[in-house]
Structure 1
Amino acid sequence: EQLRSQQAKGLAAGRRRDSEGGSSEEARRQRELGERLEQELAGLREELAKIGDEANSKIEAANVRIRALRQERDDAVREVEQENLHLRKVQETKEDIISEKVKLSEQKEALLKIVEDLHQTCIGAGLSMTTTG
């Protein structure tokens, strides 16, 4: 915009000089200045377009990486949830096994008491505990 403004001012000044009897040399210089400014403007626009393309490319690459990281995060969250569920099931199984062990231990003690009582009863009745084959 500044280049256009300078160019317009320069051309207007050149026209005024021409109309006021200024030299054609001044008009030529103003035209050359205008051409140089146009070339510079075109170069700057081209550079801006390249920078914009590079920025868009980098943004797209970053977006791809962000999507990949989000997917990895989601996968990790799912895996943690599955592992937590598995852990809860293992803990429940462990608790069930411990409970079963306690019951079996109590049953064993009861059976041992029954065997001991039976043995004492047999001894009290005068029965021999030897087996004959």
Structure 2
Amino acid sequence: MNTRMIMTASAVVMAALGFAASFLPQEVLLYVGGETTGMAPLLVQLLGALYLGFAILNWMAKGNLIGGIYARPLAMGNLLHFFAGAMALLKGLSSVHQPGIMWALVLVYGVFALLFSLITFRHPLKTSLEGK
């Protein structure tokens, strides 16, 4: 499995979400139908900082051997983030009418959750050794 491509893609997705949340918190809140006053914009900016931190972590680790016992904290952190995020987004979709971007986010989060579960619970060299 090409973990370099997965780590790069997840870093790009999280960086895009992080920049949007950090620099356009009111616009993000308006788009999803939230309050644009009080603490909400600050919390969205804080969420953006978390996304940017995770994005740079994945970007800097993209060249490392990841999977099985290798870089396990990184793989588990990504798995937890994407799985819990997919479940929360899926639950949110079952409530009132949501924007179309929510469906796309559920799909992206679900795919990354699946990929990071494969990375976490498989040995990274097993598939390459079987081919020899």
TM-score range, shorter chain: under 0.3
* TM, length-normalised to structure 2: 0.25
Larger helix fraction of residues: 1
